[in-house]
Structure 1
Amino acid sequence: MPVPRGSKPTGSKPLRPGKVVRVENARPEKEESCQAKRSPSSPQGAPKKRSAFGDITNAGLGKKDTVKAGSRKAQKSSAALGVLKNNEINLKKSTRKTPPAEAPAEPNVVPKNSPVPEAPAPAQVLAVEDIDKEQLDDPYASAEYAKEIFSYMKEREEKFLLPNYMEKQYDISRDMRAILVDWMVEVQENFELNHETLYLAVKLVDHYLVEVVSMRDKLQLIGSTAILIASKFEERCPPCVDDFLYICDDAYKREELIAMETSILRTLKFDINIPIPYRFLRRFAKCAHASMETLTLARFICEMTLQEYDYVQESASKLAASCLLLALKMKSLGSWSPTLEYYSGYRAQELHSLVKRLNFLLTYQHDDKLKAVRTKYSHRVFFEVAKSVPMDMMKLELALKS
């Protein structure tokens, strides 16, 4: 195992020639203190490096005081330093006057019987659980960097916020976009692609339409090309170009698909690592210790929003947190815990309005033409979560307040 940076190796160092080191004179209490202090980030439990703090320990201060005291005695014993004696007398007189000046600082001392202000801090720290500690031994989980990775993804959300781009698309409507996304869900199922590929492809379509005004006859070409790009980014074995030409029923030529791929990448400046709610949802479900059925229900709610243009402007992390909170309420699994608040960065009150909108989407907004998502999550592989009964709006209001 590699030795952590900043820690001393536990093995013995080679001695310099001509220099004798007596190990038996080492103080046992120092050895016990060194063995008791372990670095929490080191898997070997190597002792902390304390040499950098040797000059500010109490022992070091004591040595300096003795040296100063010895120099003062030498100055007092010298007859030629009479002026220094007068300075010492003046210094003693000034030090006698200093205690009254420090007296007003005494009320700041906390009495022994009132440790109340310090009580909430330990309770708040203990309520947050370290969700990555169980996977520290898994080299594929990257648990050491998980928190930093998701913090970085949340920072990147501000760069990829979508405006209301339908105002300038005179030949494309919201319904056309919903039909396209419904078709993209079917493509994801037919090719057995990852869900991350689907979410990223929809994001690529939206960000491309922000910059480019397109015609309706090119909309399916944009969607299929977006899936091709997302597959190259997410999949181990992405489908080839001929596969996408086939699913488009040969409506486009190979040159058109490659040209559209080049256009999308150049328009987005090849920055396609866009944060998607699916990754945040998996992370937040881990914080809640949610079962696979609860997580699948939250995924179904989140995937339903892909077709709805009204949710395009929502950030990925907030949408994922709201979908999980609604799934927890539908399963009667409690409220937003401090661990979820810490890792998501959202309080429960910040999610209430979006949760109500999501429940309204499940309850009332049904389109017979757009049934790919509901059909997909009605299968027993997905626990038939699409058949779950949505919550009554009044009951949801009471559940969010509790």
Structure 2
Amino acid sequence: MENMRSENHRGAAMEGVKLASEAAANTNRRALRDIKNILGAPHQPQAVSKRGLQEKPAAAGAKSQAGAVGHRPVTRKFAAILQQTQPANAPLAPIGSERQKRNADTAFHAPSDMECSKASDDDLDEMMTNELKEIDMEDTEEEEMPDIDSCDVGNSLAVVEYVDEIYSFYRRTEELSCVSPTYMAHQSDINEKMRGILIDWLIEVHYKLELLGETLFLTVNIIDRYLARENVARKKLQLVGVTAMLLACKYEEVSVPVVEDLILICDRAYSREDILDMERKIVDRLEFNMSVPTPYCFMRRFLKAAGSDKKLELLSFFLIELSLVDYKMLKFQPSMLAAAAIYTAQCTLNGCMSWNKCCELHTKYSEEQLMDCSTMMVELHQGAARGKLTGVHRKYSTFKYGCAAKSEPAAFLLDARRA
């Protein structure tokens, strides 16, 4: 029964087409095939998205142009070249929604087969080659960045589910941990050189006590934030330093040094009461705000984005610890210090400028933005073994730290900056 209905339907359709043709012969009306409104007639080539929709099939003369592309997506540039081969009065291919394209198909008629055949085979081959090159280049440029957290999916401590939100919060709040790079102008009895001596000494103390890296960076941050708010006498500066380290240890360490150990480190210059009294003053002046993003917070994330090995990691920390000692580096935010240290370390090891898209994506800093901070780090590296403040250089000249301090400084960055 179904077959009979289908055959009847096809027969009726064919009979209708035959009657329409005979009627057209006796009138001035054109047949459907003459206005190119039947299935398979050539139509206006469409300029569609480079990805997604495929080219519509074309018949007869249109195959010499649009059909030459095959099943590759047609780009706007390629469609524009095809338009140039059409007559000046030919309508432009609509670019937009599917509804606009359907309306354009019914409103305009396509160029004739003779007009479409004007483009030579050599021109089509050249256009095809250029179009494929353009698509390949875009595929390369839009290649997705590697997922740096895929290796930690099973590690609950890595909190892969919301690690991006954590670092977004760090970036929003890192200004709270910064101090004015001119705060020493308000100190009446100490200067930036005394601060450098204190930090250099605390780095050695931190190394001998085998404390965590987080502790050192938080210690320096506490010292700077306190000195920016409180006028300190010269004889109390070392007391501020050891007390800041005690507070940082209580916040970061599992095993905290006892107060008596700090008294011995200071050669008994202060008593237990002095340290505890200074501890109360510091936390009160800082309003008990110990949880601030330091350069160390960003270092771990940025090193992961850089795909670092142990050599790059040690050299990066060597450079950023040199920056802790230098008062001028306070003008840079913690995230920039971390990114510049890694960039400078990569340039030092590779012997050329090295900063890929993955690093730029996760650090939010371009190579140009890091150049000022990076060149200052190169200068610090060049003078690390000279002068009186050599604690960081001695620390990173040991085998434990891979002799990172003995690496040749990336002096070419200074030349590139001058140029």
TM-score normalised by the chain length of structure 1 = 0.68
Residue equivalent to 1:249: 267
Residue equivalent to 1:177: 195
CA distance in 1 between partners of 2:254 and 2:339 (Å): 28
Q: Deviations over 1:153-187 (max 9, x none)?
A: 11111222211110010100111101100110111
Q: How much has 1:219 moved relative to structure 2?
A: 0.3
Q: Paired residue for 1:214, among 229, 232, 243?
A: 232
Aligned residues: 297
Residue equivalent to 2:178: 161
CA distance in 2 between partners of 1:382 and 1:179 (Å): 22
Q: Paired residue for 1:313, among 322, 325, 331?
A: 331
Residues 228-237 or 132-141, more deviating: 132-141
Question: Given the alignment of the two structures, is residue 380 of structure 1 paired with residue 399 of structure 2, yes or no?
Answer: yes
- Give the counterpart letter for 2:387 in structure 1: D
Residue equivalent to 2:286: 268
Structural RMSD (CA)? 2.8
- Give the counterpart letter for 1:350 in structure 2: Q
- Give the counterpart letter for 1:371 in structure 2: T
Residue equivalent to 2:96: 108
CA distance in 2 between partners of 1:304 and 1:182 (Å): 9
CA distance in 2 between partners of 1:165 and 1:396 (Å): 32
In structure 1, list runs of 5 or more residues that go unmatched: 1-103
Residue equivalent to 2:410: 391
Question: Given the alignment of the two structures, is residue 126 of structure 1 paired with residue 114 of structure 2, yes or no?
Answer: no
Q: Deviations over 1:329-351 (max 9, x none)?
A: 11117621111111111111111
Q: Paired residue for 1:363, among 382, 400, 403?
A: 382
On the 8 A contact 1:132/1:144 being kept in 2, the answer is no
In structure 2, list runs of 5 or more residues that go unmatched: 1-91, 102-127
- Give the counterpart letter for 2:169 in structure 1: Y
Identity %: 33
Q: How much has 1:354 moved relative to structure 2?
A: 1.4
- Give the counterpart letter for 1:361 in structure 2: L
Runs of 4+ in structure 1 deviating by more than 2 angstroms, as ranges, are 104-111, 113-127, 364-368, 391-396
On the 8 A contact 2:263/2:272 being kept in 1, the answer is yes
- Give the counterpart letter for 2:96 in structure 1: N
Q: Deviations over 1:194-245 (max 9, x none)?
A: 1110111011000000100000000000000000000011101111111111
Question: Given the alignment of the two structures, is residue 350 of structure 1 paired with residue 369 of structure 2, yes or no?
Answer: yes
User: What are the residue-to-residue correspondences of 1:3-402 with 2, within 5 Å?
Assistant: 106-109=94-97, 126-163=143-180, 164-332=182-350, 335-364=354-383, 367-393=386-412, 397=416
Distance 1:394 1:344, change over 3 A: closer
Distance 1:120 1:150, change over 3 A: farther
On the 8 A contact 1:377/1:386 being kept in 2, the answer is yes
On the 8 A contact 2:385/2:393 being kept in 1, the answer is no
CA distance in 1 between partners of 2:383 and 2:270 (Å): 37
TM-score normalised by the chain length of structure 2 = 0.66
CA distance in 1 between partners of 2:248 and 2:328 (Å): 23
Q: How much has 1:116 moved relative to structure 2?
A: 11
Q: How much has 1:291 moved relative to structure 2?
A: 1.1
CA distance in 2 between partners of 1:390 and 1:346 (Å): 22
Q: How much has 1:122 moved relative to structure 2?
A: 6.5
Q: How much has 1:109 moved relative to structure 2?
A: 4.4
Q: Deviations over 1:67-87 (max 9, x none)?
A: xxxxxxxxxxxxxxxxxxxxx
Distance 1:107 1:290, change over 3 A: closer
Residues 219-228 or 180-189, more deviating: 180-189
Structure with greater Cα Rg: 2
CA distance in 2 between partners of 1:107 and 1:162 (Å): 54
Q: Deviations over 1:244-290 (max 9, x none)?
A: 11211111111111111111111111111121112212211111111
Question: Secondary structure of 1:359's match?
Answer: helix
CA distance in 1 between partners of 2:293 and 2:358 (Å): 22
Question: Secondary structure of 2:147's match?
Answer: coil
Question: Secondary structure of 1:369's match?
Answer: coil
Q: How much has 1:315 moved relative to structure 2?
A: 0.4
CA distance in 2 between partners of 1:233 and 1:394 (Å): 38
CA distance in 1 between partners of 2:141 and 2:177 (Å): 33
On the 8 A contact 2:375/2:414 being kept in 1, the answer is no
